[in-house]
């Protein structure tokens, strides 16, 4: 397919990775990745509100999503179209054990980059309350809030409309780190693992919560993530326990939005040329 010059900068390749509802989209750079993420968020928000009356999303920390947050804050001006903020509920996939005003707070990061700039009701902002609590206490409180919000019967998991995740260079996602016992958690919604390499606790949703979502969207940018991304997608020695590889929606869609630098170790994943799998699985997309 010869790409028209005007599209070249925005050229993205969409191809299905040999699993029914997994999509990998490679962008020429972080800006186009962020724009695609903002478009996905706003489209899914409008659809969810139209179908179910509300849109429930879990957002990540880290630096990669910051441009995405800025574009959502820019709203129509940033090309996202109308975003129904009054019907959107925001949760966090994980949090650091710091007060909400701390520079490392994931709540503070999203609040300043996005939430204070859009008409979302305060009651729709569901942050992880860490202040004055033990790690286990903060996790238990958040689990209670999530169970109450979703009116969850015992043993059931919440179903988020969209979970947005990042990827660490070691393959961690949210605060689920390689080798952590919490990767095997199959009952609790929220846990407070001690992350030995960081020397601190984190508060994080568990894999069953993420894997019960309708849509999971990874945002991955930069060459330093290329090894972890290749292992998450292609597997390989010792990759089966890679936290990001364990993110598999049970009955939902998994979307990887990555830039060219992050995609450089992916087999056949280069801009402008569809991968063999894509041609075999989806002739119409190439
Ligand atoms: C956090 C995140 C974490 C993050 C990755 C990637 O609290 O830090 O939830 O999982 O997404 O570490 O971080 P960067 O986007 O900064 O590379």
pLDDT digits (tens, 9 = 90+) for 187-220: 999 999 999 999 999 999 999 999 999 999 999 9
- The region, left, alpha or beta by phi > 0 then psi within -120 to 50, assigned to residue 222 is left
Q: Which atom of ligand 1 is nearest to the CA of 204?
A: 9
Q: How far is ligand 1, taken at its centre, from the CA of residue 20, in Å?
A: 27
Alpha-carbon distance of 108 to 146, in angstroms, equals 20
Would the pTM of this model clear 0.85, i.e. be above it? Answer: yes
Would you say 94 and 203 are in contact if contact means Cβ atoms under 8 Å apart?
yes
Alpha-carbon distance of 51 to 49, in angstroms, equals 5
Q: How far is ligand 1, taken at its centre, from the CA of residue 171, in Å?
A: 10
Which residue did the predictor score with more confidence, 226 or 10? 226
Q: Which helix (H) or strand (E) holds 103?
A: none
For atom 11 of ligand 1, the residue with the nearest CA is: 166
Q: Which residues contact 220 (CB under 8 A, 6 or more apart)?
A: 64, 166, 167, 229, 256, 257, 258, 259, 262
H-only helix segments in 53-125: 66-74, 106-113
> What tokens were used for 258?
């990555």
Q: Which residues contact 214 (CB under 8 A, 6 or more apart)?
A: 159, 160, 161, 162, 249, 252, 253
Nearest alpha-carbon partner for 95 in 202, 206, 243, 190: 202
Alpha-carbon distance of 171 to 189, in angstroms, equals 21
95 lines ligand 1 (CB under 6 A): no
For atom 8 of ligand 1, the residue with the nearest CA is: 62
| 75: pLDDT strictly greater than 80 | no
Mean pLDDT of the chain: 89
223 lines ligand 1 (CB under 6 A): no
222 lines ligand 1 (CB under 6 A): no
First to last CA, the chain: 6
Name beta bridge partners: 22.
254
243 lines ligand 1 (CB under 6 A): no
Tens of pLDDT, residues 36-45 = 999 999 999 9
For atom 13 of ligand 1, the residue with the nearest CA is: 62
221 lines ligand 1 (CB under 6 A): no
pLDDT of residue 113: 97
Nearest alpha-carbon partner for 58 in 131, 140, 149: 149
171 lines ligand 1 (CB under 6 A): no
Alpha-carbon distance of 161 to 227, in angstroms, equals 29
Tens of pLDDT, residues 228-273 = 999 999 887 777 789 999 999 999 999 999 999 999 999 765 444 4
Q: Which residues contact 28 (CB under 8 A, 6 or more apart)?
A: 9, 10, 11, 12, 259, 260, 271
């Amino acid at each position: 397919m010869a790409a028209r010059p005007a599209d070249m900068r925005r050229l993205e390749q969409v191809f299905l990775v040999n699993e029914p509802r997994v999509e990998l989209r490679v962008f020429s750079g972080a800006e186009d990745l962020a724009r695609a993420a903002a478009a996905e968020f706003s489209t899914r928000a409008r659809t969810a509100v139209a179908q179910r009356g509300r849109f429930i999303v879990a957002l990540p920390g880290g630096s990669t999503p910051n441009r995405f947050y800025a574009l959502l804050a820019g709203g129509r001006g940033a090309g996202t179209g109308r975003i129904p903020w009054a019907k959107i509920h925001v949760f966090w996939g994980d949090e650091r054990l710091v007060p909400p005003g701390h520079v490392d707070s994931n709540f503070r990061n999203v609040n300043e980059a996005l939430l204070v700039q859009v008409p979302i009701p305060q009651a729709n902002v569901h942050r992880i309350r860490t202040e004055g609590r033990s790690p286990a206490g903060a996790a238990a409180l958040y689990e209670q809030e999530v169970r109450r919000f979703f009116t969850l019967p015992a043993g059931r998991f919440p179903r988020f409309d969209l979970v947005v995740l990042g990827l660490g260079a070691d393959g961690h996602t949210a605060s689920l780190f390689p080798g952590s016992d919490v990767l095997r958690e199959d009952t609790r919604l929220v846990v407070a693992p001690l992350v030995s390499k960081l020397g601190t606790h984190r508060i994080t949703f568990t894999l069953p919560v993420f894997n019960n979502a309708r849509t999971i969207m990874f945002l991955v940018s930069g060459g330093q993530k290329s090894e972890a991304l290749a292992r998450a997608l292609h597997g390989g020695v010792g990759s089966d326990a890679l936290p990001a590889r364990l993110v598999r929606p049970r009955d939902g869609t998994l979307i990887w939005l990555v830039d060219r630098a992050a995609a450089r170790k992916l087999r056949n994943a280069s801009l402008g040329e569809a991968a063999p799998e894509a041609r075999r699985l989806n002739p119409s997309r190439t």
